[in-house]
Amino acid sequence: MINNLSYKVIKQPNTISEQTFYPNKAFTDFIKVNKSNILVIKASNSSGKTYILEMLAFAFFGLELNKNDITESLQRRLKYLVDETHQTFEFEISIIDPDGSIIDIKYNKESKIPIIKKTSNKTVTVLTKEMFLDEYKLLFDVPENPLDRIFQVTKSIKDYNSNLLHQLNPLDLKIGRILHSIRDERNEKLITELKDRIEIKQQSLNSYSEKKNNANNILQDIENAKNLVALKKNIIDKEDNLKKLNEATNNFNRLKKPDLVKNDVKSNLKINEIKIKIKELNLKYSIKSLEDKIKDNEFSSDIIKSLPEYDSNSFNILYKSSENINSYIENNEVDEVAKLLRILNHIKDNSLNNYFNNLRVDFNGENYYLIQNLIKDFQKYELEENSIFEEIFNKQVSNILFDLKEKEKKDSKILRVNELEKELNKIISDIIFKLNNSKKLSVDLFKELGKNSSLPLEDRKYNSSKNELSSLTESKSRLQSNFQKIRNELESNEISLNKLDSIESIDEILRPLNLKIRQFSGNEIIEIDKLKSEIKQFEHLATQMKNEIIEDKIKLKIENDKMSSSFSMHKDKLTLFSSKLTHFIKYLHQNNSLINDDGELNGKEVELNMAYIKLIGEFVASTMGNKIIYQNESLEIEYVDYSTKTPCFVTVQGKRIAFPDFSGGQASSNYLKSKLNINDNKKYIVLFDEIANMDNRSLNEVIDKLKILNENKKLLLAILAEPHKEEKEFIINGY
Amino acid sequence: MDQNEYLNRLVEEFTKKQGNSESEKNEFIKILKLLMVVDEKENSEIEIINLITNQNDK
């Protein structure tokens, strides 16, 4: 409230136009008796009301207000006030602060600036401009173009945003620097991750080993059963062979050895030479190798399963021919050889070719090479902690690499498929080549044998008996070697040799074994291939897992050996906060750019930021006390909707009132209210001039808002002025 | 709505967009406000680390 106010204004001093003005007596009389903080002056022109407002505005540093807080016309008026070329003035004002202290302001030509003294509990403090502006806020305004100026509130939000950014940007940089300085320290999180990863991989490795052992056990049982059956057959064949050999030996011994003529010797030598050449072709071995390769590879069971019946039969004919191939050639069985050549060409060009082409469709080679390149690239950043990977891929580099390596494992099959195809084609081409060569040897042998057929019958019998004896002896040796081979295999599969002497003892071992593997009965060969393939796969996975464990252990050691400080323990938390802060700054910056320098909202981006636009609207509505006057009615508003081309107030009931729908007085009232923010920490000095466009209701709304400020001890003084049409009238009302 | 409440709402909208939980939001605004009043001085980095990692709470 005003305790005392006096001033003296001399216009055009020291000229013939000199005039002196003092405060209106009605005003000074009024403040002597009325102690209201809120005054409304209704006075005729030139009655001094504007002087009072301007004097107070000047006293409270109105010239220091920035251009957003004072209109150009009011600023000009204050500058005219202090322009000594046309007038001089001096004043003394005393006001009581809501906290009970007294503020005395004195100004004269000599003092240059208003001197403000605050007396509280008999202690006098001279307030500097800064001290004063820290505690008080001057609102000196004329509600001209009030609606347009509501945009100043949005502009003030932009200023606050900029202020926030000004504070947060250096903070963000500082945290970034902190993170950079602890980048090379021990990463406890990575250490824990590596330890966990090693443990998980070790479990996988154990599981692979267990699965491999199980498969091995089943395979051993099936192979043992198969070998025991073969051993039984071998024992029977050996007995049969021994019987035939004895008979053949007896027969041979009874025959007379023919006299050798030179020519026969020569022919026999040639025959032996050709036979050696046929043996040297090693066709039996080549066909056996092909069979082994087809039956013993990673894809064996798949190849066998996928072959059509015709192809499957062709393979079986080829495998069986290994035993007879030399005999076909030696006996010049041209049809058999031609049949084998047909089969081989079919297998090569159709069966295997189709199979491998289909397999290649399943494993994408291009993906495999892409994955290999990606692994190389990601490995470069494996030990770096960079949040960008987590932001983009939602996982750490080590996890990305793990996934890529799993994929690589799967797709690396393409390489093994190509390699297998190449090997098989090589073996088949080799057999075809040898078979073609064998044709000539076959013809030559046939010719030489033809020469021998001219020998006498006795001699031919002798030769035939000798050949039979030689063949049976060879069989005996082959059976014996096979016998040893099977026994060795059984022994290596943990079956004691002393139990393999007789068919009965073999049956004794075989019976429980057959029971154990009866589920595979009839499919033993397929099962063996399947198990071998599984074992190979588990071995492959186990090797890979072992390598990965070694890799992780090395990484763990490297990380473990690094230095550590107490800060690096919190690296993750710091990184997370830093990332969040950076994003928040970006978000704030983005939102702030929605408001242009005039406090208007940039239309294009509005739709993308509805939540923020609503927040601005709520902020502006709150500055008006969430109330507006519209058509003589006080409405409670929730927010101002800036998202539409024409902004509008939105009531709590959802009613929309566009800005241009207000009358000037209502708009002025709403605007003035918006300037009185109860949440501001400072105490207000409110000087509103030219409020005549407001009717009583609109004016009362503003007064009510001022009363709330007053009740909250946030109002130092409020003077509202309007012209009166009657001359020499000076009416004051206190609230 | 004062500036403090406006900042709270701003952070609320931001954390909602980020998919953060209520407690994450509260933690962020708490630390943010504490950091905003840290003075520029020697060893302010340690103060910042302590505030972010809640060392001052322990």
| pLDDT per residue as tens digits for the range A78-121 | 888 888 778 888 899 999 998 889 999 998 878 778 889 999 88
The shortest CB-CB distance from B49 to any of A157, A178, A680 is to A178
A217 and A297 inside one domain: no
Cβ count within 10 A of residue A401: 20
CB A693 within 8 A of CB A668: yes
In a domain, A507, yes or no: yes
Q: Are A420 and A299 in contact (CB under 8 A)?
A: yes
What lies within 8 Å, CB to CB, of A156 at 6+ separation is A68, A599
Question: Cβ contacts of residue A391 below 8 Å, gap of 6+?
Answer: A579
If asked whether residues A406 and A299 sit together in one domain, one would say yes
**Is A615 part of any domain?**
no
A266 and A253 in one domain? Answer: no
Q: What six digits make up the tokens of A4? A: 């005392």
A306 and A216, same structural domain? no
Full pLDDT tens readout for chain B, 58 residues = 778 888 999 999 999 988 889 999 999 999 988 888 887 777 778 888 888 887 555 4
List the domain range (segments joined by +) for residue A729: 2-142+690-734
Please compute the mean of the pLDDT values over residues A356-373 and round it to a whole number: 75
| Domain match, A29 and A7 both | yes
Tokens matching residue A421? 């195809």
What confidence tens digit (pLDDT) does each residue in A505-540 have? Answer: 899 888 998 888 888 877 777 888 888 989 999 999
Instruction: Please enumerate residues of B whose Cβ is less than 8 A from a Cβ of A.
Output: 1-3, 5-7, 9-11, 13-14, 16-18, 28, 31-32, 35-36, 38, 44-45, 48-49, 52-53, 55
Domain assignment present for residue A656? The answer is: no
Identify whether residues A475 and A390 lie together within a single domain: no
For residue A639, is it within any domain?
no
Q: Is residue A547 part of a domain?
A: no
Which of A454, A484, A510 terminates a domain? The answer is A454
Tokens of A512: 């429980």
**Which of A573, A587, A679 is opposite residue B2, by nearest beta carbon?**
A679
Length of chain B: 58
* Total domains in the fold of chain A: 3
B-chain CB neighbours of A623 within 8 Å are 1
H or E element at residue A126: strand A123-127
Residue A284 in any domain: the answer is: yes
**Rounded distance, CA A430 to CA A427, Å?**
5
Is A164 within 8 Å of B7 when comparing Cβ atoms? yes
**Residues of A whose CB is below 8 A from B5:** 679
Q: Choose one of A434, A454, A474: the last residue of a domain.
A: A454
A577: left (phi over 0), alpha (psi -120 to 50) or beta: alpha
Q: Do A611 and B13 touch (CB under 8 A)?
A: yes
Average pLDDT, chain A: 84
* Chain A interface mutation, best of B8, B38, B53, B58, highest count of A Cβ atoms under 10 Å: B53
Phi, psi of A719 (to 5 degrees): -125, 125
- A470 in the same domain as A393: no
Inform me whether the C-beta atom of residue A577 falls under 8 Å from chain B C-beta atoms.
Answer: yes
Which of chain B's residues have a Cβ under 8 Å away from the Cβ of A175?
A: 48, 52
Alpha-carbon Rg of chain A, whole angstroms? 54
Q: Answer yes or no: is A340 within a domain.
A: yes
Q: How many CB atoms neighbour CB A10 within 10 A? A: 16
Whole-angstrom Cα distance, residue A208 to residue A299?
19
Q: Do B48 and A615 touch (CB under 8 A)?
A: no
Instruction: Report whether pLDDT(A472) > 50.
Output: yes
pTM metric for this prediction: 0.43
Verify that A264 and A248 share a domain, yes or no. no
**Which candidate from A171, A570, A677 shows the least CB-CB separation from B53?**
A570
Phi, psi (deg, nearest 5) at residue A721: -125, 145
Same domain, A264 and A413: yes
Q: Does residue A562 fall inside a structural domain?
A: no
Q: Are residues A358 and A213 in the same domain?
A: no
Instruction: Give the domain-ending residue among A494, A520, A546.
Output: A520
Sheet holding A715-723, edge to edge: A136-141, A683-688, A715-723, A38-43, A730-734
Q: Is A345 in contact with A314 (CB distance < 8 Å)? A: no
Please name the member of A177, A573, A612 whose beta carbon is closest to the beta carbon of B53. A573
Indicate the range of A129-143, A458-472, A504-518 predicted with least confidence: A458-472
A226 and A327: one domain? no
Tell me the pairing of strands A730-734 and A38-43.
antiparallel
Highest mean pLDDT pick, A159-168, A261-270, A444-453: A159-168
Contact at 8 Å (CB) between A138 and A103?
A: no
Task: Enumerate residues 6+ apart whose C-beta is below 8 A from A480.
Answer: A238
Assembly ipTM: 0.94
Report the distance separating Cα A200 and Cα A192, nearest Å. 12
Q: Are A341 and A448 within one domain? A: yes
